[in-house]
Amino acid sequence: MADFRPDSPLRSRAIRQAGAGAAFSPLYRQIKDLLLQGLEQGEWKPGELIPSEIDLAARFQVSQGTVRKAVDELAAEHMLVRRQGKGTFVATHHEARIRYRFLRLAPDDASEPGRVESRVLECRRLRATAEVARALELRAGETVVSIRRQLSLGRVPTIIDDIWVPGAAFKGLTLELLKANRVPLYGLFESEFGVSMVRADEKIRAVAASEEIAPLLQVAPATPLLQVDRISYTYGDRPMEMRRGLYLTDHYHYRNSLN
């Protein structure tokens, strides 16, 4: 368990690091960084209740309002989840409102999308290409696990995902495990491999369906698709997944909120 007592060296070092990039780092940001370190080091696991704001304020020797502001930011970033009358919990991809937060495809008719069904097509261990190694901050030629899966919305094949994750962090990730899995992929990463995806960066472009991809989406070659390239990060801004999704958007659109 991480040592965050007020007089601990870890706490002092974390606060120095939190303020290292700016002349004046707000105190709540320093507390936020301490909470992030606790999450990264596994002091509180996904789905677990964190200490109350009163307890955290006493622990860090700051006001309850300062802690609340730090927790508010982490909740807005979907790293923590507030539950009325129960407390604040570490976000988990097993929870319904977190489960599909990285899936931004929405139906054009504004109705609820059909059930998302996932079918794993392949899973292999191979040497990382230069592009994948760069994205995952690996050395050239390091082992990665490569996954291809088909997502169907409303029983219609709609997305083909090609996914790469570091082989060292995902030992034991096999086709058999993926096919037997009944939880969201990020939920599996979280519970079986201790890797929580907490944020992602994406790039989007229009492409044409290739001869290889078209049959998987049951469309003709050259059909317009949306290509979404995503790098997902765990705590500490460590990249743990590169994903290339090809989206069929004849009845769907990609939705995002800009703040």
Is residue 72 within a helix (H) or strand (E), and if so which, with residue range? helix 64-76
Q: Are residues 46 and 171 in the same domain?
A: no
- Residue-number span of the structural domain to which 37 is assigned: 27-90
Q: What is the CATH number of the domain that holds 188?
A: 3.40.1410.10
Give the residues across from 245 on adjacent strands.
Answer: 161, 228
| Residue 84 contacts residue 122 (beta carbons within 8 Å) | no
Query: For 80-126, what is each residue's pLDDT tens digit?
Result: 989 888 999 988 876 655 545 566 677 777 665 567 889 999 999 99
Q: Domain end: 90, 116, 137, which one?
A: 90
Among 162, 172, 155, 156, residue whose Cα is nearest residue 210: 162
> 249 and 124: one domain?
yes
Return d(Cα 208, Cα 220) in angstroms, integer.
10
Q: Report yes or no on 21 lying in a domain.
A: no
Distant-in-sequence, close-in-space partners of 137: CB < 8 Å, separation ≥ 6: 238, 239
Which CB contacts under 8 angstroms, 24+ apart, belong to 256-259? 256/104
Closest CA to 56 of 84, 85, 87, 86: 87
- Tokens 């219609």, residue located: 156
**Mean pLDDT value across residues 3-13:** 45
**H/E stretch holding 9:** helix 9-18
Same-domain status, 131 and 199: yes
**pTM of model > 0.85:** no
Q: Which residues contact 47 (CB under 8 A, 6 or more apart)?
A: 89, 90, 92, 94, 95
As a whole number of angstroms, the distance between CA 80 and CA 235 comes to 13
In the chain, the number of structural domains is: 2
138-168 pLDDT, tens digit each: 998 899 999 999 999 888 999 999 999 999 9
Q: 76 and 181: one domain? A: no
